[in-house]
Structure 1
């Protein structure tokens, strides 16, 4: 059997600068020397009522930041982000803060970096509302996409340049990805996965490899997060404006009478935090690019009159382009599993380890968390102050899909969402197989040290919530556990699929000068965590657009026309 051990990284951490929010449009250089991307961040209230750019990117998140950094090398770029600077929220910087983010979002704390929503399936979920998007509020796990992701894209018409794909991943990894050291719990689970036949042991890798591996993380050796926002450090700052607290209400379309020509995007209308409207327009040959995520991008298309007529009519939204698939084929990867109490305290340590099944149909991950409790509760029940350790699985490529539609004509209101978890028996079958493997993991001697003395002798786990089934060969018991423990990894995707809403180059079908570049275009969730591939996609499409559009004499940033 392969020997399982933890690995650490000795390379120096990235420089993380804490910087106060800009109070004017005057450039400020941190430390009086090296320029920082905060120079390009402005509260939307400080921006002019009307402006023009080569590219307008809606969403300064996981895809929008690398896309903007790439395009800014040769074009004037405006990024419109509805949230604040992630550096305004200390909780986004650490693994302990991850729990606070979830708690604040679920309790509706004002100005939280994440916004909660509950699907019609009854599962609570979140979406990032902060610079860096989901990469600023997630668990930091980093792993590249599986072959099935690229195969699905190719089937929809995408001609992948795999050389550029790999170069784009490397561009991201150089800035924000680190090699982690495992804690005692994840080291033990790694050994148990190997005993449960989730083999081979692949050591550390950011590649998608079947078996057990240690993956990359966006938390550095100093414990601080490095989100997609830091990819703005690659930008040409003189060409970049990032507007914070800028809520885009609609895409401005030029529609030809009689439909003789395709409508084209000419800009967007957005409001600042004081509710004042601003209009950003495109220069000749420019484009509006939606990078607002799997909820935000289809939502904005609908609010702009691009979508199924029956979904627009109740809200009196004029139909601009009939598009039957906007908001359709929305999917979320089910998370199921069990949680135990550790007999001794461990630090909060989010997932750094993954077991990938031989068929890549399910992934098994783990984490430890310390939930803050009131001192009186801790004193009365010391057991409650221990660490909780979770073992959970992800159904890799759910067949079940749902949709989203408008809850109102107000962009501030989340759309109505239904994912239809486990509607397909294929998904349930994959969940059952993953649960069966987890049951074997929990029986491993490697985890014996995490048990308590049993009431009737022996040792046993103490569970929080649903317990692992007694008989892992009983599919009905396993199915019941899949349903009882159902929650989410926050890896929802779809709503603007390639071949349905956008073409193979991410252009909205039937509308010129408008693209969607984010996870809403995915038919398959990439790898064990999508953030690596979403960031890669921003860089990838930005590079392709630069090659397509830029020449020194034709479309250079700042050139008068």
Structure 2
């Protein structure tokens, strides 16, 4: 068949160009405060660097005190209208709303992604990556947070103490869950509306996993065990994506003490006598200004750009900063401990399908989806891996968009997926390890803050991760032997990347060949190493970090909800709670 992947990328480019023209209308700007014109030397009580997932949570909570002047510095513009439409997340990568950072080619992993690098998609707009993610809402497993408490020697981050903050951010709207045993684990008065996606076809796939011994549950949120297969909770409400910009900034847009400066780059944190006093910024017009914070500077620029800013400001590994000619203020392991949920995609060709393709509803998640959390040890209560399972109808354009434009698999791989989808339904499964041991790092490429830093993902640098992913793939693909899959004549689509191999050798090769990102970057300013358990930077007063970079280890599942929780906790710490 024709080069479907190349055609899809061309079509996506055309869609992006059309949407870029529409963006000039700024159709979402009415939801937010006006773009604030900065003046050199101005004082605020709090300056928040990064108006993303966590930063806008902090901005909302701090500006609720009308006596405090709060400034948000955001590198990007207002979010585009398509960011509000849940079905449109596959066309946002590689646009002006994406930082479009790339990993350094390690010559080992990601070799079947385009250009043999990982496209580290991150939202560059108000709301940050909460306007670009895939909207799956997962608290994580209690074990994750209890492990944080153990690492820190501080019960502050134990699950019993973070659960109230999850409940504070949530507005559960699913009536069945509200009438169930899970109701006490969710909030109903929070900012983010969440509910399950329910589709009739989902029961077929849940039954298949159940045949293998995975329990079917209404919700994997639990005090005891988060294992099982379910319909995912999605951060979608009122037919729009529940981003931090929509849910936290919009309600605060009329506050006279809240200021938002768009398209503004933080060049460095101003520090005097080891006290953070403000931020040096570059405006969209190219002016360099100094802005001052009477109380705190809070950095919420994400796990890639927060360490970049700290290092540019003299906070980081001594040898690396000296190599870059930067005066060292605090010798801390900033940029180390980079983590991500390593993803591997499988495609199952399912039954023949000649039905008319349903029209895309932009206000809903695009396809029926189930999630599985599984442990290889039957006595373990927390998951080793997650699989997100998406069912596509025949000849689905969205399948190619996800493969070629989101995951960025090579055209050869994406074309094999397209061929399998001709006249047949397909189930795309994304497996990822919940607690990888491998670590990467972020380093400065330049002293210029507009130059993207160097990101070494470290994928599979700990051999245990490759072994666990191999075991997980072998465990998961047992689903081919279930009644429902046999009845549908299901087969695993061969990507052609591991010829002549079988058994464990094949799956180890596959794990390496199909390695990709889940876009869950974290850990580069970890609690216990760079910041303390109240998120204050060690050795520098009045400077705090609130984003995914503070995670000492990953959480079990998509990280949007935990990052929002971190924003809630940071605001509570600032308020002395």
The answer, yes or no, to whether TM exceeds 0.5 is yes
- 2:338 matched to 1:330? yes
Gaps of 5+ in 2: 1-22, 107-116, 172-190, 402-414
Deviation at 1:507, TM superposition (A): 0.8
Equivalent position of 2:178 in the other structure: none
Equivalent position of 1:552 in the other structure: none
Equivalent position of 1:80 in the other structure: 73
- 2:126 matched to 1:131? yes
**Distance of aligned partners of 1:445 and 1:307 in 2 relative to their CA distance in 1, 3 Å threshold:** same
Deviation at 1:491, TM superposition (A): 0.8
CA distance in 2, matches of 1:534, 1:315: 31
Report SS of the residue matched to 2:121: strand
CA distance in 2, matches of 1:538, 1:368: 33
Q: Decide whether the 8 Å contact of 2:440 with 2:457 is kept in 1.
A: yes
Equivalent position of 1:251 in the other structure: 269
Equivalent position of 2:58 in the other structure: 67
Q: 2:518 aligns with which of 480, 485, 489?
A: 489
Deviation at 1:153, TM superposition (A): 2.0
Report SS of the residue matched to 1:54: strand
Q: Decide whether the 8 Å contact of 1:501 with 1:508 is kept in 2.
A: yes
Report SS of the residue matched to 2:549: helix
Which stretch shifts more, 506-515 or 412-421?
412-421
- 2:231 matched to 1:214? yes
Q: 1:510 aligns with which of 530, 539, 555?
A: 539
Q: Decide whether the 8 Å contact of 1:327 with 1:403 is kept in 2.
A: yes
Report SS of the residue matched to 1:436: helix
Equivalent position of 2:102 in the other structure: 117
Equivalent position of 1:272 in the other structure: 283
CA-atom RMSD, angstroms?
Answer: 3.1
- 2:172 matched to 1:177? no
Structure 2 length as normaliser, TM-score?
0.77
Q: Decide whether the 8 Å contact of 1:144 with 1:533 is kept in 2.
A: yes
Equivalent position of 1:541 in the other structure: 570
Q: Decide whether the 8 Å contact of 1:84 with 1:129 is kept in 2.
A: yes
Q: 2:317 aligns with which of 302, 308, 311?
A: 308
Deviation at 1:361, TM superposition (A): 1.2
Q: 1:153 aligns with which of 134, 148, 156?
A: 148
CA distance in 2, matches of 1:82, 1:246: 5
Q: Decide whether the 8 Å contact of 1:139 with 1:350 is kept in 2.
A: no
Deviation at 1:231, TM superposition (A): 1.7
C-alpha offsets along residues 490-539 of structure 1, whole Å, 9 cap, x if unaligned?
Answer: 11211111111111111111101101111111122122111101101111
Q: Decide whether the 8 Å contact of 2:98 with 2:121 is kept in 1.
A: no
**Distance of aligned partners of 1:387 and 1:316 in 2 relative to their CA distance in 1, 3 Å threshold:** farther
Equivalent position of 1:197 in the other structure: 213
Moved over 6 A (4+): 467-471
Gaps of 5+ in 1: 1-17, 31-35, 256-262, 452-458, 549-561
- 2:424 matched to 1:424? no
Deviation at 1:205, TM superposition (A): 5.0
C-alpha offsets along residues 315-374 of structure 1, whole Å, 9 cap, x if unaligned?
Answer: 322222222x11111112110131245643566736853211134111111124643689
Size of the alignment, in residue pairs? Answer: 484
**Distance of aligned partners of 1:466 and 1:96 in 2 relative to their CA distance in 1, 3 Å threshold:** farther
Which stretch shifts more, 517-526 or 383-392?
383-392
C-alpha offsets along residues 359-404 of structure 1, whole Å, 9 cap, x if unaligned?
Answer: 4111111124643689xx9xx9896597653112111111111211
Deviation at 1:19, TM superposition (A): 12
Equivalent position of 1:440 in the other structure: 478
CA distance in 1, matches of 2:204, 2:498: 20
Which stretch shifts more, 286-295 or 154-163?
154-163
**Distance of aligned partners of 1:383 and 1:400 in 2 relative to their CA distance in 1, 3 Å threshold:** closer
Deviation at 1:270, TM superposition (A): 1.0
**How do residues 30-109 of structure 1 correspond to structure 2 at under 5 angstroms?**
38=32, 40-42=33-35, 46-74=37-65, 75-86=68-79, 89-102=80-93, 105=94, 109=95
Structure 1 length as normaliser, TM-score?
0.79
